[in-house]
Chains A and B, each alone.
Chain A
Amino acid sequence: MITLKVNGKEVTVNDGTLILDAAKEAGVTIPTFCYQAKLSGLGSCRMCIIEIGGQKKLQPSCITPVIPGMEVFTHSPQVVSARAAMLEFLLSNHAFDCPVCDKAGECELQDMVFEHGPRKGSYSETKRVFHEKDYVLSPVIVKNSNRCVQCMRCVRACDEIVGRGVLGALGRGSGQEMTSFLKTQLDCDHCGMCIEVCPCGCFMRKPYRYTARPWDLKGVKSVCPYCATGCRITVEERAGTAVRSIAKEGAGFNDKLLCARGRFGFDFVNSTKRITTPLLKKNGIFEPITWEEAYSVMQRNIKTASGEKTGVIASARLTNEELYLLQKVARTTLKTANIDSASRWSEAASAAFMHAVEVSGKAVTAYGCMDQAAIFILGSQISDENPVTDYIVRIMSNARRKNIIIASPRGMKLDRSAMLTLRHAPARLGALILGVCAAIKEEGADKFAGIKGVDLLGGKTVDSLAKEAGVSSDDVKGAAKRLKASETIALMAGIDMMRNSDGINEMQLLKDMLKVLKKDVRVMPLLDRTNQRGAWDMGVHPAFGPGYSDVSSKGLGAEGLMKKAASEGLDMLYVVGEDVVASYPGAALVKEALKKIKFLVVQDVFMTETAKAADLVLPGAMFVEKNGTVTSQEGRVQRINMLRKPAGEAKDDLEIIAAIGGMAMGGAEFSSDADAVLSEIEKTVTRYSGAAAGVETTEGFLLGDSDAGQAKQASAPKMKETEIIDGAPLRPYHLVTGNHLYYSGTLTAHSKVIGSFISGPVVEMAASEAKKLGLNPGDEIEVTGAEGVKAVFSLRVNSGTRPDVVFVPENYADSPANMFFEAGIGAPRVSVAPRRK
């Protein structure tokens, strides 16, 4: 600890603290431009210079660490005049086109000059002009360098946070311009991090441009509706149109961090293709009906349906309140335990995963994981699926050298931050983890004798397991060595483990073995739907109730329901917000199954493929049209707020679910008030007790530990591999699927901005393999799977991916990846060929 004086006030701070932060401790704010907490120190703008007792020269407080007994003066006459002088310099070549600048009104340069002067400037020379007209750097970025204050935040953010490094400075001195190398369109992530960090209007949002002044905007705090990282956003609208989604410093755990989907993908809420009235299918054609009619049709069908032959599939994007109420309605009014929150994996796999990642334990945050000495990221294409978690890992590993190990068949951006990457064969993660376990076991096998699951190892050796996983045994041993050498370990486990039902049991074993070695192990799931963790907590699962409580009899999950429907038919299936047709792994089966459902009711905002197959369609609400809470993958409960009323006749989902609940013969009442439901959740799911107050804070409510209701130990079923039949055409590649950085289902499909990043469905393969086949990025490629199913994709290449892997983003409506899949088979084999012209 170091004690120093700031403006005469004594403060004690940790060693290595910057003067800037020490001043903050003393309650003094020092103005800054180039400084950003999440970026490396630069010390170039000189706004933060301060006087140190005994030193003649003023020092930059953002890069100067404190020393004992130091006396700092942040507002001495010399400092105050220097600050005004720096601003005068910055303004000397500034464009001063504030009236037409998007940033005006929330511009850091304006604010700084307002506070620190100078009151008048005397610069009378010609100004530096980089260009006459603004130019476009991406579908979402417009550039005006004439406003630049050269703080390099954009360049550093692109490199240090996003990991793309496509921005740099051209020229030198006063002629230095931060831009892309050729000042043309960037091949980047289009995440807009450069825009968010820019202090003045140099980087601007293209879609938002000239649509509003900041003071005209009305906004609500919300949570990004895409992956489960749970980024805090503020959605802002003007005259009924949502124009912007922003993340602000200090507004949530993610501060300014957002990915392309979070920052630009919100515009689906402006889509005109909404379902605005209830629709009933008569003679194969949808006809608009009133809510009364819709409810009476619904009630009639509930009456005749048997609970055994009824099912509910909910989207993991609904709020906790909706999900809680939905499972309650299912279990009472609909008298069924057949309820699930995803249609992409089996209920057995998800149950085993929940136990392995300890969802019923207390919250584990991404920053918390990065406090550990070793971080093992497995079963996740994290850079694509959870971009902001990827940023956090990168930022923290830049700041402190971290022992990061990544296991994935695909290459990804985060590989550069990793000490070790394990490119295992698709759906062979289990073998890889077992290999690591075997390597750990090599010394002191008896230590691990008592562990459940140690028999998974059998007599297998590291070498044989490494071979099975398709990696070198040195790499497997290397991973084991790194884990053994670290006292604190974080496992970040992704949904590929559920997709392929692979590696879950093995990860549980690894965890248990590490615990025997007295390691501090934290586990965090990496999930891709906003409220997947909430859906499990609320008991939207056939095997347990709210808070992982026991249920009298287990029901069927999505997989079970589809199989049952296909074989013996169902009386009723109630689908809320999920597109089963596009996402169930086994397109042929699901189409067959839906035909055999007597009454299919779909509640959604868009006419999805599943909704098209429905008998009754109920228009629900979007995330900006409701109040409620969602639980992130970390176990962070945060509030979403209503920005506007649902479109047309559409209703808040909670209201619809409550109304359906009230259709029981007994006439039970269900509250449709989100706050009332939340307080019921607080009582039923004890880990949520205190959530109503907790969600109001910046950090949100972090779930605590509870004895009541634990995710049960479960075993994930092993998937089969595609059989290789002699004489059949050779299909040399394994197909893997997942979220694309720009594409994650229906919502993105309705985002115009996201749609402008990529045209149509894409397939990704290793750059080396594409070259071998003579294929170039952008070529049209035909992918052929079992029984000749084929679809055409545009080729993208990725340099780190295994050569035997091709990747197709899941749930494209046009060329759905699930057509190549069959339930129970992981990473199916496909062949690729250029499309015949």
Chain B
Amino acid sequence: MEPVLLKNLNNPNAYKLSVYEAGGGYKALALALKKNPDELIQLMKDSGLRGRGGAGFPTGLKWSFVPKDFTGPKYLCCNADEGEPGTYKDRGIMDNDPHLLVEGMIIASYALGAVASYIYIRGEFAFGAKRLEAAIDEAYKKGYLGKNILGTGFSHDMYVHRGFGAYICGEETALLESIEGLRGQPRKKPPFPALAGLYAKPTVINNVETLACVPAIVEKGVAWFKSMGPEKSPGPKIFCVSGHVKKPGLFELPMGTPVRDIIFKHCGGMREGRKFKAVIPGGVSAPLLTEKDLDTPMDFDSLAAKGSMLGSGAVVVMDDSTCMVKASYIITRFFSHESCGKCTPCREGTIWLTKILKRLEHNEGTMADVEELERICNNIFGRTFCPLGDGAVMALRGFMKNFREEFVHHAEHKKCMVEGGYEL
């Protein structure tokens, strides 16, 4: 398929407004501004676009929750925190094609009636932040931002807000807290951000990739968008593949492309002489899939049916040199390091899991530890404040369900099952 979101991935000058415009950029904005905001929201609903940040919530529906008769300011926030290990899809857009995001955000803001929008970008993405700031400056100069955009009377301001390196700030309410200058911890819901979000005003939070889909939908229409992928989650999707494949990288493919195709067709298969062992389909919170599930289409519903999730579309491939105890230890350690500390089960539970996994990995564990892991997982799951703790449990459960024998081997034989294990 013709790439839409990554069309400028390999165009080194696409970050410049002139180049972006030459490629047809900001035409969608002009088109959108001629429409009525309600029409745009309906267009998004009709397109079937679902949030690309992980939860897959229908974007048009989310936009329609913002109260229309609200007289105060409304906001749009772009979640560019991209903290899920293995994910680098948004970076591809922001570094190389910043105007695509800016254009999408202006259209979305117009549809929502937002006075200002914020791009909450992961702190480490210094380059992307600079590119975005430069793009916003250019857009202001050209009249795409600021007062009376393109003479339509619509005014809008856009800001880049850099994060400070906390995974939790990718959670939408923690992101809002962080923009407000508060400690990055999730807020209680209700009230939902659509009613009381940033500065307690109606707010929509969308992922970078979601917003990047907007201009194309406006320009090319619903039918074009729905021509890709399954009926219930249509459109293009960026898959960022990492791990033990020949050719890892960013791939823009239709939603619903089977995992097997991604690994063996687009990534050139497994490393030389190695066999496929498992794949994490959507960032490390997503439970892994094994050989038997390789034909699962990569879309929200199909993966959910398999007990996993599409998440951010970060595909982490592991071959037979991977020790699953070590892999799960590293992933769980990540979650305990990133646990914000707000709620008890996540704060105390993830660190506990990490400590046990560390012992198992270093061949100091026992069978009781393996059972303890399962017990602690049960005590965390479904009781945390936000999905971070649940994510940690889902990931670990995925490993333990499919590769329990490796954990048992570590506990009983005090050594790893995987010979010549590859150092992660």
Closest residue of chain B to A174 (Cβ to Cβ) is B351
**Which chain A residues border B352 with CB–CB below 8 Å?**
89, 92, 123, 125
User: Are A86 and B344 within 8 A (Cβ)?
Assistant: yes
B398 at the interface (CB under 8 A from A): no
**Which chain B residues border A689 with CB–CB below 8 Å?**
none
User: Are A57 and B382 within 8 A (Cβ)?
Assistant: yes
Kindly state the separation between the CA atoms of A90 and B348 in the bound complex, as whole angstroms. Answer: 7
User: Are B383 and A58 within 8 A (Cβ)?
Assistant: yes
A52 at the interface (CB under 8 A from B): no
26 CB-based A-B contacts, threshold 8 Å: A43-B188, A44-B342, A44-B343, A46-B343, A46-B345, A46-B385, A47-B344, A63-B188, A85-B379, A85-B383, A86-B344, A86-B383, A89-B349, A89-B352, A90-B344, A122-B372, A125-B355, A126-B355, A172-B340, A172-B341, A173-B340, A173-B341, A173-B350, A174-B341, A174-B348, A176-B340
Kindly state the separation between the CA atoms of A175 and B342 in the bound complex, as whole angstroms. Answer: 11
Kindly state the separation between the CA atoms of A92 and B345 in the bound complex, as whole angstroms. Answer: 11
User: Are B379 and A44 within 8 A (Cβ)?
Assistant: no
- Please classify how large the interface on chain A is, using the bins under 10, 10 to 19, 20 to 34, 35 or more: 35 or more
Kindly state the separation between the CA atoms of A126 and B372 in the bound complex, as whole angstroms. Answer: 16
A105 at the interface (CB under 8 A from B): no
Kindly state the separation between the CA atoms of A92 and B356 in the bound complex, as whole angstroms. Answer: 13
A168 at the interface (CB under 8 A from B): yes
A549 at the interface (CB under 8 A from B): no
B319 at the interface (CB under 8 A from A): no
Most A CB contacts (10 A, CB to CB) among B183, B344, B347, B382 go to B344
CB distance from A180 to the nearest CB of B (A): 15
User: Are A173 and B355 within 8 A (Cβ)?
Assistant: no
0/1 string, A667-699, CB within 8 A of B gives 1: 000000000000000000000000000000000
B336 at the interface (CB under 8 A from A): yes
Nearest 8 CB-CB pairings of A with B: A176-B341, A89-B348, A85-B379, A173-B339, A125-B355, A174-B351, A173-B341, A44-B342
Residues of B within 8 A of A (CB): 166, 183, 188, 336-345, 347-352, 355-356, 372, 379, 382-385
**A-B contact sample (18 more), CB < 8 A, given A86-B383, A89-B344:** A44-B342, A45-B344, A46-B343, A46-B383, A46-B384, A58-B383, A82-B383, A85-B345, A93-B348, A125-B352, A125-B355, A128-B351, A171-B341, A172-B340, A172-B341, A173-B339, A173-B347, A174-B341
CB distance from B307 to the nearest CB of A (A): 15
**Which chain A residues border B347 with CB–CB below 8 Å?**
89, 150, 173-174, 176
A169 at the interface (CB under 8 A from B): yes
Kindly state the separation between the CA atoms of A678 and B215 in the bound complex, as whole angstroms. Answer: 82
CB distance from B366 to the nearest CB of A (A): 10
User: Are A89 and B345 within 8 A (Cβ)?
Assistant: yes
CB distance from B258 to the nearest CB of A (A): 30
Most A CB contacts (10 A, CB to CB) among B336, B372, B383 go to B383
A interface, over-half SS: loop
Which of B188, B336, B337, B356 is in CB contact (< 8 Å) with A41? B188
A88 at the interface (CB under 8 A from B): yes
Kindly state the separation between the CA atoms of A88 and B384 in the bound complex, as whole angstroms. Answer: 15
CB distance from B369 to the nearest CB of A (A): 9
Most B CB contacts (10 A, CB to CB) among A41, A63, A174 go to A174
Kindly state the separation between the CA atoms of A63 and B187 in the bound complex, as whole angstroms. Answer: 11
Kindly state the separation between the CA atoms of A149 and B188 in the bound complex, as whole angstroms. Answer: 20
Kindly state the separation between the CA atoms of A93 and B352 in the bound complex, as whole angstroms. Answer: 9
**Which chain A residues border B342 with CB–CB below 8 Å?**
42, 44
A120 at the interface (CB under 8 A from B): no
Kindly state the separation between the CA atoms of A149 and B339 in the bound complex, as whole angstroms. Answer: 15
Kindly state the separation between the CA atoms of A126 and B352 in the bound complex, as whole angstroms. Answer: 10
Kindly state the separation between the CA atoms of A82 and B345 in the bound complex, as whole angstroms. Answer: 10
User: Are B356 and A169 within 8 A (Cβ)?
Assistant: no
CB distance from A59 to the nearest CB of B (A): 10
B interface, over-half SS: helix
A404 at the interface (CB under 8 A from B): no
User: Are B383 and A92 within 8 A (Cβ)?
Assistant: no
A493 at the interface (CB under 8 A from B): no
Closest residue of chain A to B382 (Cβ to Cβ) is A57
Whether A172 contacts B339 in the complex (CB less than 8 A), given A125-B352, A125-B355, comes out as yes
**Which chain A residues border B348 with CB–CB below 8 Å?**
89-90, 92-93, 174
Kindly state the separation between the CA atoms of A43 and B344 in the bound complex, as whole angstroms. Answer: 10
**Which chain A residues border B337 with CB–CB below 8 Å?**
173
Kindly state the separation between the CA atoms of A313 and B183 in the bound complex, as whole angstroms. Answer: 55
**Which chain B residues border A46 with CB–CB below 8 Å?**
343-345, 383-385
0/1 string, A23-57, CB within 8 A of B gives 1: 00000000000000000011111110100000011
User: Are B379 and A89 within 8 A (Cβ)?
Assistant: yes
User: Are A169 and B341 within 8 A (Cβ)?
Assistant: yes
Kindly state the separation between the CA atoms of A699 and B120 in the bound complex, as whole angstroms. Answer: 50
Kindly state the separation between the CA atoms of A92 and B183 in the bound complex, as whole angstroms. Answer: 25
Kindly state the separation between the CA atoms of A801 and B6 in the bound complex, as whole angstroms. Answer: 59
CB distance from A595 to the nearest CB of B (A): 62
Whether A86 contacts B345 in the complex (CB less than 8 A), given A49-B383, A58-B383, A173-B339, comes out as yes
Kindly state the separation between the CA atoms of A89 and B166 in the bound complex, as whole angstroms. Answer: 23
User: Are A174 and B339 within 8 A (Cβ)?
Assistant: yes
Most B CB contacts (10 A, CB to CB) among A63, A90, A122 go to A122
Kindly state the separation between the CA atoms of A150 and B341 in the bound complex, as whole angstroms. Answer: 8
Kindly state the separation between the CA atoms of A264 and B399 in the bound complex, as whole angstroms. Answer: 56
**Which chain B residues border A89 with CB–CB below 8 Å?**
344-345, 347-349, 352, 379
Closest residue of chain B to A149 (Cβ to Cβ) is B344
Closest residue of chain B to A176 (Cβ to Cβ) is B341
CB distance from B113 to the nearest CB of A (A): 25
**Which chain B residues border A49 with CB–CB below 8 Å?**
383
**Which chain A residues border B339 with CB–CB below 8 Å?**
172-174
Closest residue of chain A to B337 (Cβ to Cβ) is A173
Kindly state the separation between the CA atoms of A173 and B343 in the bound complex, as whole angstroms. Answer: 9
Most B CB contacts (10 A, CB to CB) among A41, A123, A171 go to A123
Query: For window 85-130 of chain A, which residues contact chain B by CB distance below 8 Å?
Result: 85-86, 88-90, 92-93, 122-123, 125-126, 128
Closest residue of chain A to B375 (Cβ to Cβ) is A122
**Which chain A residues border B343 with CB–CB below 8 Å?**
43-46
Closest residue of chain B to A175 (Cβ to Cβ) is B341
CB distance from A534 to the nearest CB of B (A): 44
**Which chain B residues border A88 with CB–CB below 8 Å?**
379
**Which chain B residues border A44 with CB–CB below 8 Å?**
342-344, 385
**Which chain A residues border B372 with CB–CB below 8 Å?**
122
User: Are B338 and A173 within 8 A (Cβ)?
Assistant: yes
**Which chain B residues border A171 with CB–CB below 8 Å?**
341
Most B CB contacts (10 A, CB to CB) among A42, A128, A172, A176 go to A172
**Which chain A residues border B345 with CB–CB below 8 Å?**
46, 85-86, 89
**Which chain A residues border B384 with CB–CB below 8 Å?**
46
User: Are A173 and B351 within 8 A (Cβ)?
Assistant: yes
CB distance from B199 to the nearest CB of A (A): 14
Closest residue of chain B to A56 (Cβ to Cβ) is B382
Closest residue of chain B to A172 (Cβ to Cβ) is B341
Closest residue of chain B to A168 (Cβ to Cβ) is B183
User: Are B166 and A172 within 8 A (Cβ)?
Assistant: yes
Closest residue of chain A to B348 (Cβ to Cβ) is A89
Kindly state the separation between the CA atoms of A126 and B344 in the bound complex, as whole angstroms. Answer: 18
Query: For window 467-517 of chain A, which residues contact chain B by CB distance below 8 Å?
Result: none
Kindly state the separation between the CA atoms of A632 and B348 in the bound complex, as whole angstroms. Answer: 46
CB distance from A127 to the nearest CB of B (A): 10
**Which chain B residues border A92 with CB–CB below 8 Å?**
348, 352
**Which chain B residues border A47 with CB–CB below 8 Å?**
344
CB distance from B400 to the nearest CB of A (A): 18
Closest residue of chain A to B356 (Cβ to Cβ) is A125
CB distance from B392 to the nearest CB of A (A): 11
User: Are B336 and A174 within 8 A (Cβ)?
Assistant: yes
Kindly state the separation between the CA atoms of A168 and B342 in the bound complex, as whole angstroms. Answer: 13
Closest residue of chain B to A177 (Cβ to Cβ) is B341
CB distance from B387 to the nearest CB of A (A): 11
CB distance from B365 to the nearest CB of A (A): 11
CB distance from A796 to the nearest CB of B (A): 28
